[in-house]
Amino acid sequence: MSFTPHAGSGKITAPDILSRKNSPEPKSKIACVTAYDYPTARLLDESGLDVILVGDSVGMAVLGYDSTLPVTLDDIIYHARAVRRGVHRALLVADMPYGSFHISLEESVRNALRLVKEAGVEAVKIEGGERRLELIARLVEAEIPVMGHVGLTPQSINALGGFHVQGKSADAARQIERDARAVEAAGAFSIVLESVPRELAAQITAESHIPTIGIGAGPDCDGQILVFHDLVGFGTQHKPKFVRTYANLSDEISRAVSDYCADVRAGQFPADAESYHSAAELREHLLAATRR
């Protein structure tokens, strides 16, 4: 599969993403998707994505939790290290999970440094606006690029009372605007706008000097992000309105496993062509596999 690098060697960096906002050249939208394991990350990277996010959505998409709140920093590091091995072109960003940046600035910076040093991520994502201004500035001072996240912030689900569209009232919209301005002022290189009215997202995008990445925020943002499992219809129980499913892997996997079970029970798998006929043949196969 081929792709056209955005610039230079093709490796995308946080400054590259930031430069998309004010580039005099015709600019394309920024494409972002989540990943939580090596094979998925490799396929996504080879497909030409700009940003791959190791999101705390791993809690709901992979680990079976009802929210992102139980996800730990060690969980994110574990999954980010696997994703890192598969990513060579896209910018690799990781969520700072709930509890990893809420106690003190010093501990928060230390936790972000762990993501960079132990997992090899190139930027971190922080939920929250005005209240995170000092933290974002401290991380930027520590030379850790930061992606902001305002609107619906899933880590605040208990305070928000559920997964609801944010910014519907005039006061709520003004607060999201203030949050976005604070994230930009603190030095973030981009900002996620989640589950806000299209008109509000368009206004923030027009006024912002950093790229906006939408999820449930309409088409006027500078880029879009989706959870991988939603995008490919893999194991998702609820499909939000903003999701477009580009494949249905759940049905394909169910069909494949059902066919496998039927073949095994009928004695049709493995066939002669799928069997080894000598120890020498097996050894040659194993050696070939190690050379790949």
Q: Which long-range contacts (CB under 8 A, 24 or more apart) does 176-179 make?
A: 176/129, 176/150, 176/151, 176/200, 176/204, 177/203, 177/204, 177/207, 178/129, 178/130, 179/128, 179/129, 179/130, 179/150
Residue 131 confidence (pLDDT) above 70: yes
- DSSP structural state of residue 150: E
Label residue 149 by pLDDT band (50, 70, 90).
Answer: very high
Q: Where in the sequence numbering do the catalytic residues fall?
A: 194
How many helices, marked H, and strands, marked E, lie in the chain? 12, 8
Query: Which tokens belong to 279?
Result: 């120890």
Of residues 291 and 114, the one with the higher pLDDT is 114
H or E stretch at 40 = helix 38-46
CATH class for the region spanning 14-247:
alpha beta
Between 223 and 279, name the one with better pLDDT: 223
Cα angle: 34, vertex 35, 39; to 5 degrees:
150
Lowest mean pLDDT among 83-87, 144-148, 158-162, 252-256: 158-162
The more confidently predicted of residues 278 and 184 is 184
Domain residue ranges in the chain:
14-247, 251-291
Please give the average per-residue pLDDT across 258-276, as a whole number. 94
Give the Cα separation of 287 and 129 in Å (integer): 54
What separation in angstroms does the CA of 282 have from each of 47, 288, 289?
34, 10, 11
Q: What is the percent of the chain with per-residue pLDDT over 90, rounded to a whole number?
A: 83
pLDDT per residue as tens digits for the range 180-238:
999 999 999 999 999 999 999 999 999 999 999 999 999 999 999 999 999 999 976 67
What is the reported pLDDT for 37?
98
What average pLDDT score do residues 5-14 get? 69
What distance in Å separates the CA atoms of residue 249 and residue 266, rounded to the nearest whole number? 26
pTM over 0.95: no
For residue 11, name the pLDDT band (cuts at 50, 70, 90): very high
